Chain A
Amino acid sequence: MSGAEGHRLAGLDYSVVQQCIHCGMCLPDCPTYRETGQERNSPRGRIAWMRAIADGEIEVNRAFADEMYYCLGCLACQSACPADVDYAQLLEAARAEVEEAGILEDRRQRSFWRWLALRAIFTRPRLLRGIGRGIRVYQRTGLDRAVRRSGLLRVLPGRLAALEPQTPRIERRFSPQRIPARLLPGGEKPRYRVALLTGCVQDLAFSSVNRATAEVLLANGCEVITPPVQPCCGSLHAHNGAIGLARDLARRQIDLFPPEDFDAIVSNAGGCGSHLRRYGELLADDPAYAARAAEWDRKLRDVHEWLVEIGCRAPRMAPAPGGRPLRLTYHPSCHLHHGQRIRRQPEQLLDLLPGTERVPLAEATSCCGSAGIYNITQPEQAAKLQAAKIKHLRATGAEVVATANPGCHLQLVNGFPPGESAPRVTHPVVLLAEAYARER
């Protein structure tokens, strides 16, 4: 894999590798350790393994490669770790090491899907949209239901068949058709100038979330800049060992959104944000970009974080008409909660909504199994986590589930069997935007 050089376990600052004091405090929070009870499937065991590789004690092999992809990358261990171990950085380096060694390449099917996802599609925003249109036609014509019914899917290799219902419902219009490149708040002089990152999957499957984000920012006095064609942020690439591609994409983002021009660069997808805040680290060795990347990190905000920071205005109306309060709950995306440590803000925003009642979700911070492309690469473990999450969601009796990451959003929607009266899954800013809209 190109450009992975210098991003290997042995190349990491040794303090990162050595930071784990093997106290075990993260073990009960790790979904894979809870599943198997084996140290090798725990953060502590994985870090020991990475360290042994960094120390040159053992070689990168197939078992290591499999383990690094059995890990969800949910970063629950990072939240649990009092010693401040940077597991995200370790895992990224470990996966890059695996890709560089080419160990998993002989699995033809895997390498084809990886190639398609990481290299061919998620680097080309226009192509991604084209595919989106194709899928939409397939869905709208009812062809998808016909295909599912026909049993054709049973002929497909197991994991592809399992994947099919996951394909996002593609929205009719993508962000650029909905959001003008520059929006000014009505009446007042803008208090802030912000850039809106539309994200790849968010843009395809949930462009209404992007639209809502723009509206909520406008309602809070921000001028919103949304360039129509935006590169992928590179998070899928970095989280899956393709560091060279991730660096290229980061440079393209910085060129498109000169950080010095904005008060904030706003992301509304947990998974992207968690990567977007780390451009500084990613480009630290690039003399042309290091300083701007650091400035970028300083400006980058998750949308909830930004709204709370600037004092989000409480809507005067409930998000939906109706006499009794709307029961809602919040599922924190791993990369927002553990990765970006944005923990209280989404709930603070939800609590601003009149006419709603927020109920707590049991084991809220446990991964739903979406985890980037994990549900594609490890479908069984992903399904177990999904089932556990859905069980807890049902128990809340909530009519609305708020979550702030497209992967989680899809995973939750797909987790309710067809026919069950499932709660509506949506993004916190959509609820805010709906409430603001009802003021008018």
Chain B
Amino acid sequence: MSGTLPPLAVQLPAERWRTAPEDLLAYSFDGTAGLRQRPLAVGFPESAEEVAAILREADRTGTPVVTRGSGTGLSGGSVPVEDSIVLCTTRMNRILELDRQNLTLLAEPGVLTQAIHGEASAHGLFYPPDPSSQKISTIGGNVANNSGGLRGLKYGVTRDYVMGLEVVSPQGEIFWLGNKCVKDVAGYSLRDLYIGSEGTLGVITKVLLKLVPAPAAKRTLLATYDSMEAAAATVSAIIAEPVIPCTLEFLDRKTLQCVEEYTGIGLPTAAEALLFMETDGHPAAVAEEAEAMERIARGEGALEVRSASDGTEAARLGEARRSAFAALARLRPTTILEDATVPRSELARMIAFVAKTAEKHGLEVATFGHFGDGNLHPTFLTDERDPGEMERVHTAFAEIFEYALALGGTITGEHGVGISKREFLATQYDEGSLALLRQLKATLDPRGILNPGKLLPA
């Protein structure tokens, strides 16, 4: 145990504090490229009361606290700051209740997203949000980042399923916000304030989630194209039909090749673009929608449209799409992805702009994402050891964000601001709304101990 944290150390049994250099090293990063900082200590609380005791002491001593789930974040949200302690929620991992009458599930923040899916489906129910990191991301991390997923188009994002939260304030008070009521207009919706707050306002210690009935049927289609424009036209035509499928994802050629290399499931790697489409719900509706989607895809010049033969193949294809980001890391030493998002009508223009920008700066880029949501993931394949190239990557991202904003979009659709995008936030917010953000933070966390240096511009 290092001598630096006696005042905090007493709040947890010694074996739940880690201070050895190799432990600090192992908690010095999240899923974001190029960010690293060792904390002073890593603590593993097991209850809201323990969290409260630590925060009270941290607030008193002015010690920064960084909350961490599984550390898969892609904007540096759980990367420690200097002289901070990390609160890791992975030992708060119990599912506390599944209420069949009200269709809700109560869980501690360290429960893995996939475990929530599993518990819901064991009761014939469904928790739709499915970030690609679901097999390891925590529900607390999902709420704190308001994470999206492949099913966002039809089902929405994490926020749409949070009915209640237990939150610990930096002063060590434990609040319960929300309830099991479908309708509730009593006062400000404080619960919503904490969703997407990236660990800067409070620590989430319980999550009450809304569940829905599991869809009875599902169909999965793949369509390939010789141009991204044709894929985009298909998406527009499907939405205009109007059909809102559960999933409308796209991969460009480079992404497709990497994913195929990883999975070896026989994806058509010669295509310029691939659409991964799913519809779910009542069997009759699913059949009708799948037929419409296939007809439209062919009408827009798809090279090939194929349908998953069964649930196993559909699951394999979904898994393949989920591996896109990490599979791209095969190509170059450093992989940096962003999640600029535009109104879906503008997506094709945005994709073309990304390609042009990469070419202008002599950079290698691959793009994939959620076509239906207008949320794309331009991914630069680069090398952090080359400062010149990194500089060009930075410029390219600045141009991409600027263009996304000009199209009425946002700098981040689902990964959060964290460290990586805080300097760009000021371009999206006007001065007044930025001041409001700061005022809110100052009110709730006056000593600035929760995740300082994140979200808000310096």
Contact = CB atoms under 8 A, between A and B. Distances in A.
B323 A24 contact: no
Interface string A58-78: 100001100100000000000
Interface residues of B, number: 35
Nearest to B32: A22
Contacts of A18: 333-334
Size class of the A contact interface (CB-based, 8 Å): 20 to 34
Contact of B326 (A28, A37, A67, A82): A82
B327 A24 contact: no
B124 to A, nearest CB: 21
Interface string A18-41: 110111110110000000011110
B330 A67 contact: no
A269 B20 CA distance: 40
Nearest to A343: B264
Nearest to A45: B26
A25 B136 contact: yes
B23 A39 contact: yes
B185 to A, nearest CB: 39
Interface centre among B26, B44, B91, B325 (most CB of A within 10 A): B26
A18 B27 CA distance: 17
A82 B337 CA distance: 15
A81 B323 CA distance: 9
A290 interface: no
Contact of B23 (A25, A40, A81): A40
A19 B133 contact: no
B90 interface: yes
B31 A83 contact: no
Given A38-B23, A39-B27, A63-B20, A24 B329 contact: no
Given A22-B30, A22-B31, A39-B26, A83 B329 contact: yes
B169 interface: no
B31 A37 contact: no
B326 A21 contact: yes
Interface string B100-134: 00000000000010100000000000000000010
A15 B28 CA distance: 21
B22 A24 contact: no
B451 interface: no
A301 B124 CA distance: 45
Nearest to B335: A21
Given A83-B326, A83-B327, A84-B262, A24 B72 contact: yes
A413 interface: no
A25 B27 CA distance: 16
Nearest to A81: B326
B438 interface: no
Nearest to A18: B333
B196 interface: no
B452 interface: no
Interface in B26-48: 26-31, 33, 44
Contacts of B323: 25, 82
A49 interface: yes
B25 A22 contact: no
Nearest to A63: B22
Interface string B172-215: 00000000000000000000000000000000000000000000
A88 interface: no
A63 B333 CA distance: 28
Contact of B25 (A23, A49, A81): A49
Interface in B325-375: 325-327, 329-330, 333-335
Contact of A48 (B25, B70, B72): B25
A158 B262 CA distance: 43
B26 A24 contact: no
Nearest to B384: A18
A23 B262 contact: no
Nearest to B74: A23
Interface string A261-273: 0000000000000
A82 B324 CA distance: 8
A52 interface: yes
Contacts of A38: 18, 23, 26
B136 A49 contact: no
A280 B103 CA distance: 58
B25 A58 contact: yes
Given A15-B333, A37-B91, A25 B326 contact: yes
A67 B22 contact: yes
Contact of A27 (B27, B91, B136, B335): B136
A354 B78 CA distance: 55
B136 A19 contact: no
Contacts of B335: 21, 83
Contacts of B325: 23, 82
Contacts of A49: 22, 25-26
Interface string B229-269: 00000000000000000000000000000000110000000
B329 A48 contact: no
B299 interface: no
Interface centre among A28, A40, A83 (most CB of B within 10 A): A83
A40 B391 CA distance: 33
B112 A84 contact: no
B7 interface: no
Nearest to B258: A82
B333 to A, nearest CB: 5
A102 B136 CA distance: 37
Question: 10 closest Cβ contacts across the A-B interface?
Answer: A45-B26, A82-B326, A83-B329, A39-B26, A82-B323, A82-B327, A24-B72, A21-B329, A40-B26, A84-B330
Given A18-B333, A37-B90, A84-B330, 16 more contacts: A15-B333, A19-B329, A21-B33, A21-B326, A22-B71, A23-B31, A24-B31, A24-B70, A25-B323, A27-B70, A28-B135, A39-B26, A45-B25, A45-B26, A63-B20, A84-B327
Interface of A: 14-15, 18-19, 21-25, 27-28, 37-40, 42, 44-45, 48-49, 52, 58, 63-64, 67, 81-84
22 contacts: A22-B29, A22-B71, A23-B72, A23-B325, A24-B72, A24-B136, A25-B135, A25-B326, A27-B136, A37-B44, A38-B18, A38-B26, A40-B22, A40-B23, A44-B26, A58-B21, A63-B22, A64-B22, A82-B325, A83-B329, A84-B261, A84-B262
